[in-house]
């Protein structure tokens, strides 16, 4: 049985991880964001900010992690799985940072297809920065626009998730996919 792969994306601090955790608590299969793990691994190897020191290597590691998640999704027993960010997010961020890249990054966006894309718009009331989220709210808002454009470039029509409680946002997503 083919899995429905459902991406939850949006700029930093829009509530993606909270919604993914809520969906998981409701019994749905979920895969979590890989960037924090890439950042932690780089720090353990002595690189404080890999995304600044070697943005292409950082993006390559994100791409590798997201491609692995895409393939791992097939092993889950349910017919659907929620994923915190998708492969096109890597290209969107590279575009935002004006980083040059090759087909190594674009071909996976074309070849690994998701069934639904939900995008969380910038929401200043819930935005918080932390050790891995260094962007200002204004930067996060710009990143959101790049994400929207990138997913559209690859043939998706991202579904905007309204501002509401975490549970209401999770229920909105579930309703839109038929649960």
What is the tens place of the pLDDT at every residue in 110-144?
A: 999 999 999 999 998 888 776 555 678 899 899 99
Higher pLDDT pick, 54 / 99: 99
What confidence tens digit (pLDDT) does each residue in 44-79 have? 887 777 766 778 888 998 999 999 999 999 888 889
What confidence tens digit (pLDDT) does each residue in 6-41 have? 999 999 889 999 999 999 999 999 999 998 788 788
* Residue 27: predicted pLDDT: 95
Are the C-beta atoms of residues 24 and 30 closer than 8 Å to each other? yes
SS (H, E, C) 130-163: CCCCCCCHHHHHHHHHHHHHHHHHCCCCCEECCC
* pLDDT of 1 strictly over 70: no
Listing from the earlier edge strand, what are the strands of the sheet with 159-160? 30-31, 80-84, 4-10, 116-120, 159-160
* Residue 136: predicted pLDDT: 80
* Residue 159: predicted pLDDT: 98
* Residue 128: predicted pLDDT: 78
Average pLDDT over residues 92-96: 96
* Residue 117: predicted pLDDT: 98
Closest CA to 83 of 137, 141, 3, 142: 3
* Residue 132: predicted pLDDT: 57
* pLDDT of 172 strictly over 80: yes
Domains of the chain: 4-176 (3.40.50.300)
């Amino acid at each position: 049985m083919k899995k429905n792969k459902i991406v939850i994306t949006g700029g930093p601090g829009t509530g993606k991880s909270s919604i993914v955790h809520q969906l998981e608590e409701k019994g749905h299969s979920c895969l979590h964001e890989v960037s924090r793990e890439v950042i932690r691994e780089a720090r353990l190897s002595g690189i404080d900010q890999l995304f600044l020191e070697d943005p292409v290597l950082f993006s390559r590691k994100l791409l590798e992690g997201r491609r692995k998640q895409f393939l791992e999704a097939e092993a889950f027993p349910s017919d659907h799985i929620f994923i915190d960010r998708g492969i096109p997010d890597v290209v969107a961020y590279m575009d935002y940072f004006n980083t040059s890249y090759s087909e190594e990054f674009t071909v996976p966006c074309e070849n690994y297809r998701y069934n639904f894309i939900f995008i969380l718009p910038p929401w200043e009331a819930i935005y918080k920065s932390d050790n891995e989220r260094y962007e200002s709210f204004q930067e996060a808002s710009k990143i959101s626009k790049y994400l929207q454009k990138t997913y559209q470039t690859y043939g998706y029509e991202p579904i905007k998730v309204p501002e509401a409680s975490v549970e209401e946002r999770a229920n909105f997503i579930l309703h839109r996919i038929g649960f």
